[in-house]
Amino acid sequence: MEDLKKRKMEEMGNNGNSSTQEELRSLLDPLAKSQLVDLLSRLGSQYPSIAEEIKSIASSDPVHRKLFVRGLAWNTTSETLCAAFRMHGEIEEGAVIHDKVTGKSRGYGFITYKHMESTHSALRAPSKLIDGRMAVCNLACEGLSGSSTTPDLAQRKLYIGGLSPDVTSEMLLNYFGRHGDIEEGSVAYDKDTNESRGFGFVTYKTVEAAKKAIDDPQKILGGRTIIVKLADTKGKPVQTQVPTAAVIPLAMPVAPGYPQLGKAHPSAATAGYAFPQPVASYQASSYSSPAAAPAPYPSQLPIPYAPVAAKKDPQGILPTAPTGMSGPFMLSDNDRLYLKPTLRDRVLQIRTKRDQEF
């Protein structure tokens, strides 16, 4: 009898627990996320068992425990990377990514903590100086850019040019650290020779610090005058463009009656000239004929001349002139052959007239 009673009591207890869980789910379902977070945080602070349960559930997914670290030096190894992040908690996995072909570092790596609390501790101080370069970390699920991709990143990231080959990343960070807290910065090195390329980048945490660095008149580092200007998000210096002269449109006066381009005519009636236009009648009586101009010279009668009978020139070649006669009109036989007929006839007419006079 006692065993049956115990079984009935257990069944009644289980039914009561199941109904209670269903009721709690129905009550929690319409709550917003912020309300649920506040509720669980209060319960976790009051009851340690609930806090442990929350930690175990949150740490079960490695996505919330994995960090992406960028800005590493080419000589940074996986051991150096893990040593820099071990201060925040136990590391489950950590490695620097290398190129499969060349075997050289690609400048970034990953850190996976064992507990989520360690990840949050590392994110509170995302910038770390590793092998002379300022590396930055963020959650791997946020992508390569991470949380530093903010709208004001273009005003916080500076391009530093004209660096001496002797200037290291530590020297660069110490020099620009006087203007404000630095989030990320390093000297650009060649992948093959590991030598300085003569420029670098510095990203401040605030826009005000970046402006101070640009406005600083003393820009001498390593015995050289360096160049400090804003850099875009891809790491290239921003080219400052000189603003061109503004072209101010001038309103040209237009006679009324002519429509202007882009503007509606103020009057609905069509302005202008109508065709055909009325013309005033011509009054003939109002105009008198102009007076005739006087002749400057008196008219003269024509002078009569005696008619001259023209003789017909004989056809053929003229006889040769007698020996001893000379003059401008004496022609040889060869001249008669080469002269044109019209010219030759004219010459013969003149010569005949002269013979008649003599």
Nearest to 188 by CA among 129, 107, 80: 107
**CA separation for the pair 160, 182 (Å, rounded):** 14
Task: State the pLDDT at residue 226.
Answer: 92
What's the confidence (pLDDT) of residue 292? 61
State residue 229's pLDDT score. Answer: 92
Query: Taking 70 as the threshold, does the pLDDT of residue 335 lie above it?
Result: no
pLDDT at position 163: 92
On whether the CB atoms of residues 137 and 111 are closer than 8 A, the answer is yes
Q: Please give the average per-residue pLDDT across 48-62, as a whole number.
A: 83
The DSSP secondary structure of 84-142, one letter per residue, reads HHGGGS-EEEEEEEE-TTT--EEEEEEEEESSHHHHHHHHHS-EEEETTEEEEEEEGGG
pLDDT level of residue 195 (50, 70, 90 thresholds): confident
Which secondary-structure segment (H or E) carries 57? helix 48-59
The two tokens of residue 8 are: 């009935």
Q: What does the pLDDT average to over 193-214?
A: 90
Tokens 């360096």, located at residue:
226
C-beta of residue 196 within 8 angstroms of C-beta of residue 167: yes
Least confident of 244-258, 283-297, 299-313: 244-258
Within 10 A of 94 (CB to CB), how many other CB atoms are there? 21
Q: Where in 149-190 does DSSP place strands (E)?
A: 157-161, 182-189
Residues 154-164, mean pLDDT to the nearest whole number: 91
> How confident is the model over 330-344, as a mean pLDDT?
59
Q: Quote the pLDDT of residue 69.
A: 92
Q: Positive or negative, the Cα torsion across 207, 197, 224, 162? A: negative
**For range 206-214, the mean pLDDT:** 92
Q: Name, in order, each residue with C-beta under 8 angstroms of 144's C-beta and a sequence gap of 6 or more.
A: 68, 70, 108
Angle at 30 between CA 26 and CA 34, to 5 degrees: 125
Q: What is the pLDDT of residues 259-300, one digit of tens each?
A: 555 555 554 444 455 555 566 555 555 555 656 656 566 666
The sign of the CA dihedral 121, 124, 129, 131 is positive
Cβ atoms of 228 and 240 closer than 8 Å: no
What is the rounded distance in angstroms from the CA atom of residue 26 to the CA atom of residue 20?
10
Closest CA to 67 of 135, 139, 9, 19: 139
Amino acid found at 192 = D
Residue 323: pLDDT band by 50, 70, 90 thresholds?
very low
Task: Give 281-347 as a 3 state SS string.
Answer: CCCHHHCCCCCCCCCCCCCCCCCCCCCCCCCCCCCCCCCCCCCCCCCCCCCCHHHHHHCCHHHHHHH
Instruction: Tell me the C-alpha distance between 90 and 115, whole Å.
Output: 7
CB atoms closer than 10 angstroms to residue 17: 10
List pLDDT tens digits, range 16-32. Answer: 555 588 888 888 888 89
What is the end-to-end Cα distance of the chain in Å, rounded? 192
- Which residue, among 46, 57, 72, 187, has the nearest Cα to 129 in the 3D structure? 72
pLDDT at residue number 211: 93
User: What was the pLDDT predicted at 324?
Assistant: 45
Question: Hey, what are 222's tokens?
Answer: 């390593």
pLDDT of residue 158: 93
**pLDDT confidence bin for 240, thresholds 50/70/90:** very low
Distance CA 286, CA 302 (A): 43
Q: Residue 66 pLDDT > 80, yes or no? A: yes
Q: Percentage of the chain with pLDDT > 90?
A: 19
- Can you name the residues that pair with 227 across neighbouring β-strands? 161
pLDDT classification of 88: cutoffs 50, 70, 90: very high
Percent of the chain having pLDDT more than 70?
Answer: 61
The answer to whether 117 touches 55, Cβ cutoff 8 Å, is yes
